[in-house]
Amino acid sequence: MTPYKLVVVSAGLSKPSSTRLLADRLAESTVRQLSLRGREVEVEVVELRDLAVEIANNLVTGFPGAALRRAVEAVTEADALIAVTPIFTASYSGLFKSFFDVIDHDALAGKPVLIAATGGTPRHSLALEHAVRPLFAYLRAVVVPTAVYAATDDWGATGDGLGESLPGRIDRAAADLTALLAGRAPAAPEPAGLPEHVVPFAEQLAALKA
């Protein structure tokens, strides 16, 4: 059985990064839940911090470097994405937006995407809904219902005031992504060429009239 390809895009700037930590936790939960369904997953992490210079050069020249080209191909060929950004000035980071500006606007059409973000204060949690979700909706991705925001205090808290902890929200979002993936067949390799015998379109139309 062909494994699913899950690509994790992290826009964290520091090392270690809470953004990368959240991305890893989301990926781990998704892999665990898919394994319970008997499905294998190949996970690839794209660290935008390492691609910052190539992303900037591509925006100016229109030519991606080798590492950026590989990252774009990974995202394009993925069965699903987990996209995590830090929140700056109540929105996604410039690096996060610039990376998705580089990708062809049709590449994410119909692709399941789990969105998440990190920030210093809970006040910016709505940035996921007024900035990140519309971005992927514009790219025609299928964004899972549950988005995960992790403020600094969430990492040690037992609940979010509504009885759900950060680990609980992570598992719920991963369950949403798992459900979407479980209904999709893994991406198959592109065929090497056309079938040996191709019926011309005119003959197909004639057959319909017969």
pLDDT tens, position by position, 103-113: 998 999 999 99
- Return the H-helix or E-strand segment holding 8: strand 4-10
The span from the CA of 155 to the CA of 78, in Å, is 29
Per the CB < 8 A criterion, the answer to whether 93 and 124 are in contact is no
For residue 71, give every residue at least 6 positions away whose Cβ sits within 8 Å of its Cβ, in sequence order, or none. 46, 51, 99
pLDDT value of residue 207:
54
pLDDT value of residue 137:
96
Residue type, 117: A
- Return the H-helix or E-strand segment holding 117: strand 112-119
The span from the CA of 43 to the CA of 78, in Å, is 9
pLDDT value of residue 191:
41
Per the CB < 8 A criterion, the answer to whether 182 and 33 are in contact is no
The DSSP secondary-structure symbol of 22 reads: H
Low-confidence ranges of the chain (pLDDT < 50): 160, 189-199, 201, 204-205
The token pair that represents 9 in the structure block: 């895009």
The values of phi and psi at residue 36, to 5°, are -65, -20
The string of DSSP letters for 174-203 reads: HHHHHHHHHTSPPPPPPPSS--S----HHH
Per the CB < 8 A criterion, the answer to whether 88 and 49 are in contact is no
